[in-house]
Structure 1
Amino acid sequence: MVIAEYLGQYPVTLMCRALNVSRSGFYKWHNRKPSPRQLRREQIEGKVVELFAEYKARYGAPRLAHELKDAGLPCSKNFVANIMRYRGIRARNGKGFHYRPASPTMINVEENRLRRRFHAEAPNQKWVTDITYIWVKGSWAYLATVMDLYSRAIVGWKLDTSMTEKLVLDTLTMAFSRREVNPGLIIHSDRGVQFRSVKYLDLVRSSGCLPSMSRQGNCWDNAVMESFYSRLKVELIYAEQYGSMEEVRSGIFEYIEIFYNRKRRHSALGNISPAEFERRCA
Structure 2
Amino acid sequence: MTIFQLKRSTYYDERQRIANPSSKYDYIKKRINAIFNQSHQTYDHRRIKKYLDAEGIHSDQGWHYQTTDYQDKLKALNIVQSMSRKGNCLDNAPIESFFSLLKRKCLKRHKIHNLTELIHITHQYIDWFNNFRISLKTKGLTPVQYRNQTIVSQ
> When the two structures are superposed, what TM-score results if normalisation uses the length of structure 2?
0.55
SS at match of 1:266: coil
1:268 aligns to 2:144 (yes or no): no
1:196-229 Cα distance to aligned partner (Å, 9 max, x none): 6245464238xxxxx342315x533311111111
Say if 2:66 is the partner of 1:197: no
- Return the alpha-carbon distance in structure 2 between the equivalents of residues 232 and 272 of structure 1: 19
What are the residue-to-residue correspondences of 1:6-155 with 2, within 5 Å? 130=1, 144=2, 153-155=10-12
How large is the RMSD of aligned CA atoms in angstroms?
3.7
Which digits, 9 at most, give the CA deviation of each residue in 1:106-140, with x for residues without a partner? Answer: xxxxxxxxxxxxxxxxxxxxxxxx3xxxxxxxxxx
Cα distance in 1, alignment partners of residues 135 and 73 from structure 2: 34
Which structure would you say has the larger Rg? Answer: 1
Unaligned runs of 5+ in 1: 1-129, 131-143, 157-173, 206-210
**Aligned counterpart, 1:222:** 92
- Given that residues 214 and 222 in structure 1 are in contact (C-alpha distance below 8 angstroms), is that contact kept between their aligned partners in structure 2? no
Shift, 1:239, TM fit? 0.8
1:266–1:272: 8 Å Cα contact kept in structure 2? yes
Structure 2 vs 1, CA of residues 266 and 189 (structure 1 numbering), >3 Å: closer, same or farther? farther
CA deviation vs aligned residue, 1:224-248 (integer Å, no higher than 9, x gap): 1111110111110111110111111
Kindly tell me: are residues 145 and 219 of structure 1, through their superposed partners in 2, closer, same or farther at Cα, counting changes over 3 Å?
farther
Match of 1:55 in 2: none
SS at match of 2:103: helix
Which of residues 91, 106, 109 is equivalent to 1:236?
Answer: 106
CA spacing shift, 1:155–1:276, aligned 2, 3 Å: closer
Structure (1/2) with the larger helix percentage: 2
Count of residue correspondences = 113
Indicate yes or no: 2:116 matched with 1:246. Answer: yes
Q: Per chain length, whose mean CA-contact separation is higher, i.e. which structure has more relative contact order (CA < 8 Å, sep 6+)?
A: 2
| Higher strand content, 1 or 2 | 1
Task: List gaps (5 residues or longer) in structure 2.
Answer: 19-23, 39-55
Does the CA contact (< 8 Å) of 2:12 and 2:144 recur in 1? Answer: no
Q: Shift of the alpha carbon at 1:149?
A: 6.7
CA drift of 1:194 comes to: 4.3
Under a length normalisation based on structure 1, what TM-score does the superposition of the two structures give? 0.33
Matches within 5 A, 1:271-282: 271-282=140-151
Structure 1 residues 154-169: aligned runs within 5 Å? 154-155=11-12
What CA distance in whole angstroms lies between the structure 2 residues aligned with 1:212 and 1:268? Answer: 27
- Are positions 1:213 and 2:87 aligned together? no
Question: Percent identity among equivalent residues?
Answer: 21
CA contact under 8 A between 1:269 and 1:277: conserved in structure 2? yes
